[in-house]
A and B are shown apart, each in its own frame.
Chain A
Amino acid sequence: MSHHIIEFRDVCFRYPDGTEALKGISFRITHGESVGVVGANGSGKSTLIRHMNGCLLPTSGTVNIGDFPLTVKTRRELRRKVGIVFQDPDDQLFMPTVFDDVAFGPLNLGMDEACVREKVRGALDVVHCLDLQDKPPHRLSLGQKSAVAIASVMAMDPDILAMDEPAANLDPRSRRSLIAFLKTFKHSKMIASHDLDLILDVCERCIVIGDGRVVADGPSAELLSNRTMLEENSLELPLSLQGR
Chain B
Amino acid sequence: MTFSDHYFDIDRLDRLSRKETFVHRLDPRVKTIATMLFLITVISFPKYEVAALVPFFLFPVLMLTLGDIPAGFIAGKILLVSPFAILIGLFNPFLDTRIVAVVAGLPVSAGILSFLSILLKFVLTISAALLLIATTSFPGVCHALRQLGFPAIFVSQLLLLYRYLFVLLEEAMRIVRARDMRSSGARGAGVRVFVRLVGVLFLRAVDRAERIYHAMLSRGFQGDLPTLRPSRVTAVDLAFLAATIAFLAGFRFSQVAEGIGRSAQELLR
Do A and B truly interact?
yes
Query: Which residues of A line the B interface, CB within 8 A?
Result: 50, 53, 55, 76, 79-80, 82-84, 86, 88, 90-97, 99-100, 103-105, 107-109, 113, 116-117, 134, 136-139, 152-153, 156
Q: How far is the CA of A84 from the CA of B4 in the complex (A)?
A: 30
| Interface core residue of B211, B219, B220, B221 (most chain A CB under 10 Å) | B219
CA of A80 to CA of B216, assembled, Å: 12
* Least Cβ–Cβ distance between B14 and chain A, in angstroms: 6
B139-A108 in contact (CB<8A) = no
Cβ 8 A contact of B212, one of A76, A94, A116, A117: A94
B219 touches A91 (CB 8 A): no
Residue contact B218 to A137, C-beta cutoff 8 Å: no
Subset of 21 A-B contacts with CB under 8 Å: A50-B214, A53-B218, A55-B218, A84-B218, A86-B211, A86-B214, A88-B211, A91-B208, A91-B211, A94-B215, A95-B163, A95-B225, A95-B227, A96-B163, A99-B228, A100-B139, A100-B228, A108-B219, A134-B18, A156-B219, A156-B220
Give Cα A79–Cα B216 distance, bound, in whole angstroms. 11
Q: How far is the CA of A134 from the CA of B14 in the complex (A)?
A: 11
A105 adjacent to B219 (CB under 8 Å): yes
Q: Are B139 and A96 in contact (CB under 8 A)?
A: yes
Distance between Cα atoms of A164 and B164 in the complex (Å): 22
B11 at the interface (CB under 8 A from A): yes
Contacts of A55 in B (CB 8 A): 214, 217-218
B222 within 8 A of A: yes
Q: Is the CB of B211 within 8 A of A108?
A: no
Contacts of B211 in A (CB 8 A): 86, 88, 91
